[in-house]
Structure 1
Amino acid sequence: MSGFTRHRRSGRVIATFTGFEADLLRSLASQLVELLRNEEAVPRETQDPLEALVRFDGPTSAPDDPVLARLFPTAYPDDEEAAAEFRRYTEGGLRDGKAAGACAVVDALEEAGLPPELTEDGLMIDVELDPPDAETWLRCFTDLRLALATRLEVEEGDEDYWESLPDDDPRAQAHDIYEWVGYLQETLVRALW
């Protein structure tokens, strides 16, 4: 697990993942896409392209799923009507953007050599990203960390709780993944700036 670095000559951002790491990252991004697209009111493929461009048919209430509620917080908590209108005009586009970013991560991993099915342990995957693509990955890492933190109910200052869990506890393992995505996010920020 080397994290991201910036190539001095090309300016591209580079990371090397084990096959397991690349497959885990692809799985997380794919699950995020599925979550974002499962609760849409109107499936994308059935919409008129012009209607999709000027989409004003979005949801007007906060999502029931806690992760989606965290990814799409209420803009005006003290004004229900304004919050509903804001959500109606913005959530569809925001969902599309987040899903497209997660799809870009999946696509880049597969283009770098990750086969669609589970990889061999010894396989190493090199990913090279130009700065705009790296920024897309950065936004996806933010969404993944928010999703994991929400599911795990991570709170500020609860490090002792996570460290006290036995290694074989599934919550500890999921928290390790949360921390790993945070590490990737941090190294990517450093590589970009």
Structure 2
Amino acid sequence: MGGFFEEVKGGGGAAIALDEIEISILRSLTVQLLELIGPGVPEDADPLAALFAEGPSEPPSDPALARLFPDAYGSPERAAEEGVDPAELTARSAEFRRYTENDLRTRKREDALAVVRSLDGLTPGGDGAAVLELAGELPLRWLGTLNDLRLTIAARLEITEDEQSAELVRLPDEDPRKPIVMAYHWLTGLQESLIETL
């Protein structure tokens, strides 16, 4: 087992061997994702009030957040191309966002927290690696967070198509974007291996 998820024999789930650097990178990226998503509902909040709380009606201005929380009905530009009234589309998207974004943020936050907690529980052995086993709901939480990390990095790198990410791999080593491009491709491999394993 090295660098990618594999099926756990006899019990289902997935496992991966991670070294200290990989653990540190995954944890750091996930903590940054948590900061980007923002705080969740306070633990002492009234559950009934939280249930009926309305979320924002405007899309986020940050491109990474806009990628994580896109308009449900597409952009006004797309509406015009398809002959749909852009104002109607914007109103539908705002209404949908108002009632779903808070829950979506909460789920993304809980998934990311589960990833951080599972990484915090790892202790590399004498060979410098630790085996992380995911069972129950953890594989899906990891899958969601890996996808969110990739979407966030893609937004920061302005990647909208696969060809663009392939071009970025050929950046010279001295380009300041090179480490995050490599992290993007590594996360892509992790996500693909976890999908195949599941």
If the length of structure 2 is used for normalisation, what is the TM-score? 0.84
Cα deviation code 1:63-106 (max 9, x no counterpart): 11111111111112432222111111000000000011011000
For residue 169 of structure 1, report the CA deviation from its aligned partner: 1.6
Question: Any conservation in 2 of the 1:57–1:88 contact (CA below 8 Å)?
Answer: yes
Gaps of 5+ in 2: 76-85
Aligned-partner residue type, residue 14 of structure 1: A
Matched, 1:93 2:94: no
**SS, match of residue 82 in structure 1:** helix
Give the Cα–Cα distance (whole angstroms) in 2 for the partners of residues 86 and 149 of structure 1. 25
Matched, 1:65 2:90: no
Mapping of residues 101-180 of structure 1, within 5 Å: 101-113=111-123, 123-156=128-161, 157-159=163-165, 161-180=167-186
- Indicate the percent of aligned positions where both proteins have the same amino acid: 39
For residue 132 of structure 1, report the CA deviation from its aligned partner: 2.2
Aligned-partner residue type, residue 49 of structure 1: P
Question: Any conservation in 1 of the 2:5–2:197 contact (CA below 8 Å)?
Answer: yes
**SS, match of residue 44 in structure 1:** coil
For residue 107 of structure 1, report the CA deviation from its aligned partner: 0.3
Gaps of 5+ in 1: 115-119
Cα 1:113/1:158, change in 2 over 3 Å: same
**SS, match of residue 55 in structure 2:** coil
For residue 62 of structure 1, report the CA deviation from its aligned partner: 0.4
Cα deviation code 1:145-184 (max 9, x no counterpart): 0000000112322256313311132211110000000000
**SS, match of residue 38 in structure 2:** helix
Larger CA Rg, structure 1 vs 2: 2
Instruction: List structure 1 runs of 4+ shifted beyond 6 angstroms.
Output: none
Give the Cα–Cα distance (whole angstroms) in 2 for the partners of residues 124 and 94 of structure 1. 34
Give the Cα–Cα distance (whole angstroms) in 1 for the partners of residues 53 and 107 of structure 2. 16
Question: Any conservation in 2 of the 1:55–1:92 contact (CA below 8 Å)?
Answer: no
Give the Cα–Cα distance (whole angstroms) in 2 for the partners of residues 160 and 2 of structure 1. 20
Instruction: Provide the residue aligned with 1:117 in structure 2.
Output: none
Question: Any conservation in 2 of the 1:13–1:131 contact (CA below 8 Å)?
Answer: no
How many residues are paired up?
A: 183
Instruction: Provide the residue aligned with 2:11 in structure 1.
Output: 10
Instruction: Provide the residue aligned with 2:71 in structure 1.
Output: 74
For residue 12 of structure 1, report the CA deviation from its aligned partner: 2.7
Aligned-partner residue type, residue 86 of structure 1: F
